[in-house]
């Protein structure tokens, strides 16, 4: 009797051959067809797509890779008198096709619009809004809501969606209109992005902060789990209509609040804008950016300031709407401020929390040698002149460390820290040491705090955070 012992299992030899095919997509008579490679017939009667399908075949099976570029086109339009019946921008300004626009204007079919408006804004402009919609014979539903930071929740977004559903919007031709501050614009944007997977919406900012910040980008969201904007999406509006006349009824504190975001862009990107704020900040604050009756040079600071703030913001946002690149200069002032803002809610406005963050980071930049002492003093003096807070007792060193640790978890393993390296110039750094943060914090408190806080030694605070 004989035995055969196998010392290993025999495996079939696998081929490394991979067959790869690139397909273009052509639409012919309402259906899409794959066409191989770049040399498909140009005589095909149909329209091509920018999308491609890449097919790979091996002995193990077939895989497909879809590359489908997504292009969003949206307008940011400054227009005075949005609620004047002689101005149809609010209803039709988002339409880009001249023929479509003319067809709608000549049609006898009434326009239908669903409007979400902050309830405070509604108390001020509700009658004017109703008269405007009625002047155009529009079928409308106006939903006033308490859109505050405390109410910025999924529950409020769902309330909007329930009412939108009852109104039965056409998801392609009847955009939802949001009128209010940044919270209102953010909540409505999220609701619109969810309803039937994407319904167009229009942003109409009524505060300075939303005028230069929330209205011009693609982000929207709500607070969740005690975290700011933890739920959200990247879906820009079809248009943002900016009317500075709304600012005349905004409390002066909210003008100051918006100036913080303008100052952010000035420090990061535009020395001229910073100098404008240095020289004319008080005038802008007192006049609330109103230029009616002003002529010549007197009317220029407001228009130049908002134009530069929007242009510099769009320069940073347009190539990176989905934040694929986490190195973002517009995050200046937004490393610690989200935690601070939520902790002391509602005592600090968003721009105020951002400015406290920026103030501390100016000291970090000074500690690293990126700013001269003169530059530091000019920046802090400008902040004070704009009536912005430059220090807060609840912005503790423990909060600084905790915020940066949280940032580390969600930023690809780096604390990406935008810092000014001069007036109107900035870079992003990921190598700021704990020692530098500690020394900057001590000096920041020594020079700016109204009452010197107890500051633990650096080793103790790091142990607390780590544990």
The Cα 122–Cα 127 span in angstroms is 8
Q: Report the alpha-carbon angle 316-322-325, nearest 5.
A: 65
45 assigned to active site: no
Catalytic option among 35, 152, 219, 264? 219
Q: Which residues contact 16 (CB under 8 A, 6 or more apart)?
A: none
Per-residue 3-state assignment (H helix, E strand, C coil) for the chain? CCCCCCCCCCCCCCCCCCEEEEEEEEEECCEEEEEECCCCCCCCCCEEEEEEEEEEEECCEEEEEEECCCCCCCEEEECCCCCCCCCCHHHHCCCCCHHHHHHHHHCCCCCEEEEEEEHHHHHHHHHHHHHHHHHCCCEEEEEEECCCHHHCCHHHHHHHHHHHHHHCCCCCCCCEEEEECHHHHHHHHHHHHHHHHCCCEEEEECCHHHHHCHHHCCEEEEEECCEEEEEEEECCCCEEEECHHHHHHCCHHHHHHHHHHHHHHHHHHCHHHHHHHHHHHHHHHHHCCCCCCCCHHHHHHHHHHHHHHHHHHHHHHHHHCCCCCCCCHHHCCCCCHHHHHHHHCCCCCHHHHHHHHHHHHHHHHHHCCCCCHHHHHHHHHHHHHCCCCCCCCCCCHHHHHHHHHHHHHCCCCCCCEEEECCCCCEEEECCCCHHHHHHHHHHHHHHHCCCCCCCCCHHHHHHHHHC
Measured between alpha carbons, how far is residue 317 from residues 86, 188, 247 in Å? 33, 20, 24
Place of tokens 């248009």: 239
- Strands 417-420, 426-429: pairing kind: antiparallel
Q: Which sequence positions are flagged as catalytic?
A: 219
């Amino acid at each position: 009797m004989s035995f055969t012992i196998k010392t290993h299992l025999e495996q079939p030899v696998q081929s490394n051959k991979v067959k790869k095919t690139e397909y273009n997509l052509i639409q012919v008579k309402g259906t899409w067809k794959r066409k191989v490679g770049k040399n498909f017939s140009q005589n095909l009667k149909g329209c091509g797509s920018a999308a491609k399908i890449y097919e790979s075949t091996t002995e193990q099976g077939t895989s497909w890779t879809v590359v489908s570029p997504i292009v969003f086109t949206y307008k940011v339009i400054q227009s005075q008198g949005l609620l004047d019946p002689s101005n149809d921008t609010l209803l039709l300004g988002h339409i880009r096709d001249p023929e479509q626009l003319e067809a709608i204007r000549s049609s006898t079919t009434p326009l239908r619009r669903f409007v979400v408006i902050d309830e405070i804004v509604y108390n001020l402009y509700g009658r004017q809004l109703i008269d405007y919609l009625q002047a155009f014979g529009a079928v409308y539903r106006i939903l006033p809501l308490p859109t505050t930071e405390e109410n910025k929740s999924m529950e409020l977004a769902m309330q909007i969606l329930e009412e939108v559903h009852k109104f039965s919007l056409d998801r392609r031709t009847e955009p939802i209109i949001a009128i209010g501050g940044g919270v209102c614009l953010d909540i409505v944007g999220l609701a619109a992005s969810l309803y039937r997977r994407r319904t167009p919406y229009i942003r109409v900012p009524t505060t300075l902060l939303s005028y230069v910040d929330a209205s011009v980008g693609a982000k929207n969201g709500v607070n969740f789990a005690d975290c700011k904007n933890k739920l959200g999406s990247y879906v820009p509006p079809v248009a943002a209509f900016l009317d500075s006349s709304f600012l005349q009824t905004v409390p002066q504190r909210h003008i100051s609040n918006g100036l913080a975001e303008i100052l952010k862009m000035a420090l990061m990107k535009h020395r001229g804008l910073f100098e404008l704020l240095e020289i004319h900040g008080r005038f802008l604050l007192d006049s609330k950016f109103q230029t009616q009756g002003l002529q010549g040079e007197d009317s220029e600071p407001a228009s130049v300031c908002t134009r530069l703030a929007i242009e510099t913001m769009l320069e940073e946002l347009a190539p990176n709407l989905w934040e694929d690149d986490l190195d973002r200069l517009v995050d200046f002032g937004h490393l610690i401020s989200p935690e601070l803002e939520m902790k002391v809610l509602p005592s600090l406005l968003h721009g105020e929390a951002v400015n406290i963050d920026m103030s501390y980071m100016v000291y970090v930049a000074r500690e690293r040698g990126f700013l001269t002492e003169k530059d530091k003093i000019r920046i802090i003096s400008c902040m004070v002149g704009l009536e912005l807070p430059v220090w807060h007792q609840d912005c503790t060193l423990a909060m600084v460390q905790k915020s940066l640790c949280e940032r580390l978890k969600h930023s690809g393993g780096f604390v990406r820290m935008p810092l000014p390296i001069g007036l109107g110039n900035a870079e992003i750094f990921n190598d700021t040491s704990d020692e530098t943060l500690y020394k900057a914090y001590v000096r920041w408190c020594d020079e700016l705090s109204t009452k010197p806080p107890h500051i633990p030694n650096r080793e103790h605070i790091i142990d607390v955070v780590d544990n």
